[in-house]
């Protein structure tokens, strides 16, 4: 019995100081293995005197069980430490981290910046105007009087407002023209700018515009335009054509053919549509240009005398050209996008391609 107690103490001590699974196995083998000290005692029970056998057997079995339990516990503790160590090893602090996605510029913004850059290089200043506009600047000042059928060219979002706020007794403009709307084009900024700046002048006005209309692949209720205006003593349609040609060449980074087609706008005389030879098929005809070989990119013309008058300038003294082009159109051409609505959906599968 004394010997058993001794064995137990030694075994427990050795187990406590065991550092790894190999050392635990050693303790197991030494005491509980085939030739282990406790195993041997249990095996030799039959040689012990009858009176002692029962007590020794009981005690030896108890010690065996206890030791087995302690070994199990120690094994678990050691493997937990090993696991922890492993996961520590996997952290490599020199490894580059995950890049945080911060988004990027929207294709329309990209095109807007490119257009601004090109026109700045051609001597134009970038100017802005309000998106909430008065009826006067959006229509009347541009030679589009109330009740004139030309207004039908622009389906308008009107803003409801308090009638008393509309009254402005000092204004020469009739109160009706003070009604507010979401600008249907960037052209009102022509008048706003010429009221405050004397020619000669060259401006480009990029901005958001709105139309009250049904949406489809080529129509949205809001879109972007860039208005251009150049005023001096002697400006002709030849200057307009040269600037347009230069711009499209710089924007598409290739020689593109352009043509001016007669058209009508109340604020220009004469008026044109500016067509660009399809950059996809080079004028042969394809699905992008609906087999026409040409794409309508802008409205343009020579500034109407009435517009100069609206801005307080003498039309006998000044001449100019103006144009308005769709930035969405430009983006769609440049990146071969076939549906304008994709630009406003915020669908990441689309946006992440740019
Ligand atoms: N404002 C016109 C539109 O949105 C486009 C336009 C045509 C602008 C001729 C111009 C111009 O400056 O001269 O339909």
pLDDT tens digits for range 214-254:
999 889 999 999 999 999 999 999 999 999 999 999 999 99
Pocket test for ligand 1, best of 127, 323, 325, 327 (most atoms within 8 A of CB): 323
Q: Tell me if 265 is assigned to some domain.
A: yes
Q: Give the C-alpha separation, 211 to 200, whole Å.
A: 32
Cα 16 to ligand 1 centroid, rounded to whole Å: 90
pLDDT at residue number 176: 53
Residue 191 domain boundaries = 107-129+186-351
pLDDT tens digits for range 279-295:
888 889 887 788 899 98
Pocket test for ligand 1, best of 139, 261, 265 (most atoms within 8 A of CB): 265
| Closest ligand 1 atom to 272 CA | 9
Q: Are residues 17 and 113 in the same domain?
A: no
Q: Are residues 61 and 124 in the same domain?
A: no
Query: How much is the average pLDDT of 262-278?
Result: 96
Q: Predicted confidence band at 309 (pLDDT cuts at 50, 70, 90)?
A: very high
Q: Are residues 191 and 329 in the same domain?
A: yes
Q: Tell me if 268 is assigned to some domain.
A: yes
Indicate if the alpha-carbon torsion angle 111, 117, 122, 125 is positive or negative: positive
Q: Tell me if 264 is assigned to some domain.
A: yes
Q: Tell me if 231 is assigned to some domain.
A: yes
Close Cβ partners of 286 (under 8 Å, ≥ 6 residues apart): 278, 280
Q: Tell me if 287 is assigned to some domain.
A: yes
pLDDT at residue number 326: 95
| Closest ligand 1 atom to 227 CA | 12
Q: Predicted confidence band at 172 (pLDDT cuts at 50, 70, 90)?
A: low
| Closest ligand 1 atom to 190 CA | 12
Q: Are residues 196 and 75 in the same domain?
A: no
Q: Are residues 111 and 230 in the same domain?
A: yes
Closest residue CA from atom 9 of ligand 1: 300
Cis ω on the peptide bond leading into residue 200 (within 30° of 0)? yes
pLDDT at residue number 168: 55
Cα 323 to ligand 1 centroid, rounded to whole Å: 6
Q: Are residues 200 and 288 in the same domain?
A: yes
pLDDT tens digits for range 60-104:
899 889 989 989 988 888 888 777 777 666 777 888 888 888 889
Cα 18 to ligand 1 centroid, rounded to whole Å: 89
| Closest ligand 1 atom to 209 CA | 4
Q: Predicted confidence band at 173 (pLDDT cuts at 50, 70, 90)?
A: low
Closest residue CA from atom 8 of ligand 1: 324
Closest residue CA from atom 7 of ligand 1: 299
pLDDT at residue number 162: 64
Q: List all residues whose CB is within 6 A of at least one atom of ligand 1.
A: 185, 187, 227, 265, 268, 299-301, 322-324
Beta bridge partners of residue 231, listed in sequence order: 201, 320
158 phi, psi to nearest 5 deg = -90, 145
Question: Model pTM?
Answer: 0.71
Cα 274 to ligand 1 centroid, rounded to whole Å: 11
Q: Give the C-alpha separation, 232 to 245, whole Å.
A: 20
Closest residue CA from atom 12 of ligand 1: 323
| Domain total of the chain | 2
Q: Tell me if 178 is assigned to some domain.
A: no
Q: Predicted confidence band at 195 (pLDDT cuts at 50, 70, 90)?
A: very high
CATH number, domain of 114, equals: 3.30.930.10
Q: Tell me if 76 is assigned to some domain.
A: yes
Q: Are residues 120 and 229 in the same domain?
A: yes
Q: Tell me if 156 is assigned to some domain.
A: no
Q: Are residues 47 and 124 in the same domain?
A: no
Q: Are residues 39 and 125 in the same domain?
A: no
């Amino acid at each position: 019995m004394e010997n058993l107690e001794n064995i137990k103490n030694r075994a427990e001590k050795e187990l406590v100081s065991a550092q790894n699974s190999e050392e635990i196995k050693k303790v197991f083998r030494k005491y509980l293995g085939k030739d282990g000290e406790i195993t041997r005692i249990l095996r030799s029970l039959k040689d012990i005197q009858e009176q002692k056998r029962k007590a020794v057997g009981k005690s030896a079995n108890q010690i065996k069980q206890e030791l087995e339990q302690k070994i199990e516990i120690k094994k678990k503790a050691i493997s937990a430490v090993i696991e922890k160590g492993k996961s520590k090893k996997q952290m490599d602090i020199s490894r580059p981290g995950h890049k945080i996605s911060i988004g990027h510029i929207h294709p329309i913004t990209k095109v807007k910046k490119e257009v601004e850059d090109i026109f700045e290089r051609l001597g134009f200043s970038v100017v802005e105007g309000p998106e909430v506009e008065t009826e006067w600047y959006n229509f009347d000042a541009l030679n589009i009087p109330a009740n004139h059928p030309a207004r039908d060219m622009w389906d308008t979002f009107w803003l409801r407002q308090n009638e008393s706020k509309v009254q402005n007794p000092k204004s020469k403009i009739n109160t009706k023209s003070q009604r507010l709307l979401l600008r249907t084009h960037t052209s009102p900024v022509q008048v706003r700018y010429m009221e405050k700046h004397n020619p000669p002048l060259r401006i480009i006005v990029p901005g958001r515009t709105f139309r009250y209309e049904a949406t489809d692949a080529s129509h949205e209720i809001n879109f972007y335009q860039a208005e251009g205006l150049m005023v001096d003593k002697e400006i002709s349609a030849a200057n307009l054509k040269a600037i347009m040609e230069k711009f499209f060449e710089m924007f598409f980074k290739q020689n593109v053919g352009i043509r001016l087609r007669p058209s009508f706008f109340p604020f220009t005389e004469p008026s044109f549509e500016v067509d660009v030879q399809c950059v996809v098929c080079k004028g042969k005809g394809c699905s992008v240009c609906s087999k026409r070989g040409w794409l309508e990119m802008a409205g343009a013309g020579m500034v109407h005398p009435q517009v100069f008058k609206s801005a307080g300038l003498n039309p006998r003294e000044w001449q100019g050209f103006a144009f308005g082009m769709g930035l969405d159109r430009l983006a769609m051409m440049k990146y071969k996008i076939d549906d304008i609505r994709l630009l406003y959906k915020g669908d990441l599968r689309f946006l992440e391609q740019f």
